[in-house]
Amino acid sequence: MTNYSIKKIKSIGQPAEVMNRRVAEHWSGPMYMRRISPYLTKILLALNFSPTFVTWLMVFSGWIAAASLLIPGRNGVILALIFAQIQMLFDCSDGEMARILKRFNPAGIFIDRFGHYSTEALLAIAFGIRVATQQDSTGLEIVYGLVLALLITFNKVFNDMVHVARSFANLSKLSEDKKVAIPRNKVIAFLRSLFNFFPIHRIFHSMELSFVIFISWLFSIEAQMLQIITLAASITVVGHLVAILSSSRLRG
């Protein structure tokens, strides 16, 4: 069994093209996750786990984060916050392991997508149920949670649909160049640029969403926050759809 050093894990598992990815790399990666993940990766390699197995650990961590929200009070939101962080840590390690072991499996990528999409949808649904079980609930909170889950899923699926559309049209792989995503219409491009200053679309990732839910519990505004982020998700989905259709992403 090979004993990989932290230095080797970083050099092979964290190449520049991964660390500098425009879309796929979460902001927490370069900030702190990628500093911690090599130590977890070293342990997982020593245990002889496969990258795909670690991806499943990522999936289950996300599901536990969502299920934690069903626990009333402080414990639920804190557990959700912790397991969302653990999910992101496993998400870093499975890719590092795949690059080190040279095990690149399409099934792993599929499971990774499934894990993120299902977690974020389940967090939204669980948040709706959590609010609906509180005092002074109208029951509509469950509907808000379901709508939020649907909108979050739409927003994520749009990006995959771009790649599917290009593949079916026999176009080349989409470039990572930021200019490709800029709408050709100047007005739409300006409106899109506002999201760089107010990136509300980022709050729908599991880690950010768990943090927003924690803050809403802290200030006793969970019901109001559920409505606000559902409205924000509606705006984001419409904006994302318009931005894609007006950009060069669906052109050769």
CATH of the domain at 74: 1.20.120.1760
Residues 6+ away with beta carbon under 8 Å from 8: 100
What confidence score (pLDDT) does residue 26 get?
63
Q: How confident is the model at residue 131 (pLDDT cuts 50, 70, 90)?
A: very high
- Average pLDDT estimate for 37-44: 92
Residue 145 clears pLDDT 90, i.e. is over it: yes
What confidence score (pLDDT) does residue 190 get?
65
Which of 184, 110, 112, 114 lies closest to 153 in space, CA to CA? 114
Number of domains the chain contains: 1
**Separation CA 142–CA 126 (nearest Å):** 8
Residue 79 clears pLDDT 90, i.e. is over it: yes
In a domain, 1, yes or no: no
In a domain, 52, yes or no: yes
Whether the model clears a pTM of 0.75, i.e. scores above it, the answer is yes
What confidence score (pLDDT) does residue 13 get?
80
What confidence score (pLDDT) does residue 220 get?
93
Q: How confident is the model at residue 199 (pLDDT cuts 50, 70, 90)?
A: low
Long-range contacts of 13-20 (CB under 8 A, 24+ apart): 13/38, 13/41, 13/95, 13/96, 13/97, 13/99, 13/100, 14/38, 14/96, 15/99, 18/95, 18/99
In a domain, 74, yes or no: yes
What confidence score (pLDDT) does residue 245 get?
86
- Average pLDDT estimate for 21-50: 79
In a domain, 212, yes or no: yes
**Separation CA 166–CA 160 (nearest Å):** 10
**Separation CA 118–CA 100 (nearest Å):** 27
- Average pLDDT estimate for 20-38: 69
In a domain, 235, yes or no: yes
Domain range for residue 119? 6-245
